[in-house]
């Protein structure tokens, strides 16, 4: 089986600064792959190279079997993306946002109408269907964003810190949605800096200063570092000196 994502010594430099330094990994189909790291560790840059927003400086990578240098347009048809910033239009209603994103991903009108019903019903947002997005609570917005990002049934969905600023209950519900999508065969590539969330992932990579410092299942990582939680693992990796003293 072809992996959903492969990266081989993928590197991105901005002038003298190396944001992403020779990262190598594979993500299997249907996997929930956690991409962890402190702010500025290079997570977002790495993700942007994979979803075609940024051209790598060197190294190889493929997404859904397509090359990130030559086939970005094909990649874009096979992925969903939820950016770090909120990605819905505030001055459009919930229904119009669904219509818009369905439309630009080329879903036929019948399918879009079906999705509107399905999606709004699934989220229990009937009362908000014709409300401007700016008027609905943040938790709803995040769940809606995710539903829209996977509306066109992409093979792989990239989530860039999707749960920033939402309450624990919504985060929980959000992860349930992620699990459901993964159980349907979707590959999930998610960045986060909430360490407790990384426990939900199948495998986790931890980036430190542009490099992948560790990559395994949460359980194996905890064993390897003799830590009780992913938080400990992360602290050992990012601040080894302080930990030793």
Partner 1 sequence: MKQFGIFIQKELFHIFRDRRTLLILLGMPIVLVLLFGFAITNEIDNARIAILDQSKGEMSQKITQRLLASGYFLIDENLREVAEIEQHFREGKTKMAIVFPPELQENLRRNLPTQIQLIADATDPNTATTLINYASAIIGRYVQDQGRGQAMPLQIHTEVKMLYNPRLKSVFMFVPGVMTVILMLVSAMMTSIAITREKELGTMEVLLASPLRPAMIIIGKVIPYILLALANTVVILMLGAFVFGMPIKGSLFLLALECLLFVITSLALGILISTRTESQQVAMLISLMMLMLPTILLSGFIFPIESMPLALQVISNIIPAKWFIIILKNVMLKGTGVEFIWKESLILGGMALFFIGASVRNFKIRLE
User: Using CA atoms, how far apart are residues 181 and 155, in angstroms rounded to an integer?
Assistant: 10
Q: In this chain, which stretch among 61-69, 104-112, 197-205, 219-227 interacts with partner 1, using CB under 8 A?
A: 104-112
φ, ψ of residue 212 in degrees (nearest 5): -85, 115
Could you say which residues in the range 115-134 bind partner 1, by CB under 8 A? 132
- Pairing mode of beta strands 66-67, 58-63: antiparallel
Residue range at the interface with partner 1 (CB under 8 A); choices 71-79, 120-128, 181-189, 191-199? 71-79
Neighbours of 191 (CB within 10 A): 22
76 binds partner 1 (CB under 8 A): yes
- Show the CA angle centred on residue 173, arms to residues 170 and 174, nearest 5°: 85
Q: How far is the CB of 169 from partner 1 (least distance, A)?
A: 24
In angstroms, give the least distance from the CB of 236 to partner 1.
Answer: 33
**66 in contact with partner 1 (CB under 8 A):** no
Contact call for residue 55 and partner 1 (CB under 8 A): yes
Distance CA 205, CA 213 (A): 7
CA separation for the pair 227, 162 (Å, rounded): 26
Of positions 28, 60, 92, 95, contacts partner 1 by CB under 8 A: 92
Among 28, 71, 77, 123, binds partner 1 (CB under 8 A): 77
Structural Rg of the chain based on CA atoms: 18
How far is 96 from 116, CA to CA, in rounded Å? 9
Of 145 and 236, CB closest to partner 1: 145
Does residue 96 belong to the site contacting partner 1 (CB under 8 A)?
yes
Q: Which is nearer to partner 1, 55 or 243 (CB)?
A: 55
Q: Return the number of other C-beta atoms located less than 10 Å from residue 93's C-beta.
A: 17
Q: Is 111 in the site for partner 1 (CB under 8 A)?
A: no
Reported in sequence order, the residue ranges of 64-180 that DSSP labels E, i.e. its strands, are 66-67, 79-82, 156-160
Using the rule CB under 8 A, which residue among 1, 16, 17, 91 binds partner 1? 91
Q: Considering the complex, what minimum distance in angstroms separates the CB of residue 143 from partner 1? A: 16
Residue of 84, 173, 229, 238 that binds partner 1 (CB under 8 A): 84
* CB atoms inside a 10 Å sphere around CB 224: 12
Distances (CA, A) of 52 to 15, 20, 115, 213: 20, 15, 26, 24
Taking CB under 8 A as the binding criterion, the range among 91-99, 166-174, 177-185, 219-227 that sits at the site for partner 1 is 91-99
Among the residue ranges 78-86, 117-125, 164-172, 194-202, the one whose residues contact partner 1 (CB under 8 A):
78-86
Q: Which residues bind partner 1 (CB under 8 A)?
A: 51-55, 73, 76-77, 79, 81-92, 96, 99-101, 103-106, 132, 158
């Amino acid at each position: 089986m072809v992996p959903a994502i492969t990266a081989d010594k993928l590197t991105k430099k901005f002038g003298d600064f190396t944001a992403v330094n020779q990262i190598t990994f594979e993500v299997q189909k249907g996997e929930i792959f956690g991409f962890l790291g402190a702010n500025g560790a290079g997570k977002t840059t790495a993700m942007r190279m994979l979803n075609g927003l940024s051209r790598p400086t060197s190294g190889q990578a493929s997404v859904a079997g397509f090359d990130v240098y030559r086939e970005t347009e094909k990649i874009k048809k096979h992925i969903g993306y939820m950016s770090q910033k909120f990605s819905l239009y505030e001055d459009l209603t919930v229904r119009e946002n669904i219509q818009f994103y369905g439309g630009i991903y080329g879903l036929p009108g019948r399918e879009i109408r079906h999705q509107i019903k399905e999606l709004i019903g699934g989220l229990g947002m009937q009362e908000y269907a014709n409300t401007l997005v700016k008027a609905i609570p943040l938790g709803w917005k995040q769940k809606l964003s995710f539903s829209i990002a996977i509306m066109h049934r992409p093979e792989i969905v990239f989530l860039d810190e999707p749960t920033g600023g939402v309450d624990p209950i919504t985060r929980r519900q959000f992860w349930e949605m992620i699990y459901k999508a993964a159980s349907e065969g979707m590959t999930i590539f998610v960045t986060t800096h909430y360490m407790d969330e990384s426990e939900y992932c199948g495998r986790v990579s931890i980036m430190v200063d542009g490099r992948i410092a560790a990559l395994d299942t949460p359980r194996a990582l905890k064993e390897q570092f003799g830590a009780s939680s992913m938080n400990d693992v992360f602290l050992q990796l990012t601040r080894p000196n302080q930990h030793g003293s």
